[in-house]
Structure 1
Amino acid sequence: MNFETITYELTKGVGILTLNRPETLNSFNSQMHDEVRVAMKDARNNSKVRCLVITGNGRGFCAGQDLSDRAVTASDTAPDLGDSVEKNYNPLIRNIMTMEKPVICAVNGVAAGAGASIALACDIVISARSAKFVQVFCKIGLIPDSGGTFNLPRALGLPRAKGLALLGDKLSAEQALQWGMIWDCVDDELLMDKALTMARYLATQPTKGLASIKTLLNGSFSNPLHHQLELEREMMQTLGQSDDYREGVSAFKEKRLPDFMGQ
């Protein structure tokens, strides 16, 4: 499919989804939502995609919603923002967090509003040193959507999450790393090399097992201990019967590199 607001490519088992409206800091309009939806569907269903990288083109990762796409004045009928969230942002966050393969976010520039929330929904976040994270919702009387109120306190703890969400201060990539909100912070020119090297490695790993790790960790804050232990038992039972487990054990015993197929 020919995209206009994103690019999407597959190389060496890695899907690369690039938000491509640099003139608006890659903010979302209706067309971008539609195109991202198509790309995410392929990333989820295409067995050749073993890992997904999400990044942005230009000096911004994503500035969230393009407000000019749904601009309002005092005389306009109030928009139903809940409908927009349910139609566009919630499915995207669910897609990222439930995708049965790793999702890496390469934050190349400012991540604001829903852009910051999308980054936090990814499994591993690597940021350019010049990037910043901004919870801008409070500046226009809104709340952190796109999973922001779920993932931000889990990443930072409640006190820091409240401070960022209520004040709307910019958080530098280096501070985000110190606070444990992201995995790594690298010089700008090294960002994509770092992200793609990691993605290509993950694409060679037992992705069925990685998906189970992701599922269990994402649910661990909400599940009581007895339920989490039961889920661990069920997944160990299932994974113990997988081809990748047999391959991993065989490779270990034979002192060779494993050839995982994600099955």
Structure 2
Amino acid sequence: MADAEVLLEVDGGVAVVTLNAPDRRNALTPDMAGRLIEVFDQVDAQPEVGALVVRAVGKSFCAGGDIATLTSAGQDPAAPDAYDGMSRIYDSFYRLGQVRVPTIAAVRGSAVGAGMNMLLATDLRIVASDARLIAGFLKRGMHPGGGHFVILLRLIGCGAVAAMALFGEEVNGTKAVELGLAWESVDDADVEPRALELARRVAADPELARVAVGNFRREVVNGAVSWEVASQFERPAQMWSMRRQAR
């Protein structure tokens, strides 16, 4: 449905997930987050899919948690509905990080708070040169949530994490590449085409893409392992891929 807040299209082995709530700058509500989780489940269930691109409609990638949702939860954070709603928002970007194919965030406009967590959950980020990447939690009077410190530290150094998450420094696309927060910074109009170009490349072999990204995350993303351990992770996968070619 074109008017749904989360859209899913699959073309040529690439799943494109679109955040489609531009009137509130794609800020996440519990319902929208729940739909994201459902969509990521659908992607995993389609073996012909070999990559996923997350993009957004409008001027913002994602403005974080919806203000009305955050305000309501703040009245009584331990209330079951409030707790469950916030958990669903946390779970949406955590679930993105578990999708079984390589993932790319195509980021235009601003990404704030939970929106930052969404792009940090992906394997690769292509951002507009004039993008605005903002942690933003403390400015709202909130402690960072969703494991923000950890997933930011996976990409950039401790000082840069402090600058963004504690001291409120805003980062544009050019600076994001300099820090290692993004792979490439391009003109706004080129963000999605570039992300799709990369996604189609790895999606050409979806079976291999799924195996490779699993080991990439085990070895690199979720805490670096030793060379010896990495060799053991990779051995069966490489032997499987070689045997597959010989068939």
Q: TM-score, normalising length from structure 1?
A: 0.83
1:217 aligns with 2:220: yes
The alpha carbon displacement at 1:12 in A equals 0.3
State the identity as a percent.
25
Show the counterpart of 2:228.
229
Show the counterpart of 1:254.
none
Show the counterpart of 1:53.
53
Aligned amino acid, residue 87 of structure 2: E
Aligned amino acid, residue 238 of structure 1: P
The runs of 5 or more residues in structure 2 that have no matched partner are none
Cα displacement string for residues 204-256 of structure 1 (whole angstroms, at most 9, x for unaligned residues): 142112321232111234x5x3xx633x24323321342x33355x59xxxxx
Distance 1:201 1:240 in 2: 19
Q: For 2:76, what is the secondary structure of its paired residue?
A: coil
Distance 1:136 1:51 in 2: 30
The alpha carbon displacement at 1:109 in A equals 1.4
Q: Which has the higher contact order (CA 8 A, sep 6+)?
A: 2
Distance 1:240 1:179 in 2: 32
The alpha carbon displacement at 1:167 in A equals 2.0
Question: Any runs of at least 4 consecutive aligned residues in structure 1 with deviations exceeding 6 A, and if so which?
Answer: none
Counting only pairs closer than 5 Å after superposition, residues 48-87 of structure 1 correspond to structure 2 as 48-72=48-72, 77-80=75-78, 83-87=84-88
Is the 8 Å Cα contact of residues 133 and 171 (structure 1) preserved in structure 2? yes
1:88 aligns with 2:72: no
Q: For 1:171, what is the secondary structure of its paired residue?
A: coil
Distance 1:54 1:163 in 2: 26
Report how many residues are paired. 241
Q: How big is the alpha-carbon RMSD for the aligned residues of Structure 1 and Structure 2?
A: 2.3
Is the 8 Å Cα contact of residues 85 and 145 (structure 1) preserved in structure 2? no
Cα displacement string for residues 28-75 of structure 1 (whole angstroms, at most 9, x for unaligned residues): 1122112111111111221121101011101100001011134249xx
Q: For 2:171, what is the secondary structure of its paired residue?
A: strand
Is the 8 Å Cα contact of residues 56 and 107 (structure 2) preserved in structure 1? yes
Q: For 2:144, what is the secondary structure of its paired residue?
A: coil
Distance 2:154 2:114 in 1: 17
- Taking a change above 3 Å as real, the CA distance of residues 140 and 70 of structure 1, as seen in their structure-2 partners, is closer
The alpha carbon displacement at 1:14 in A equals 0.4
Q: For 1:170, what is the secondary structure of its paired residue?
A: coil
Q: TM-score, normalising length from structure 2?
A: 0.88
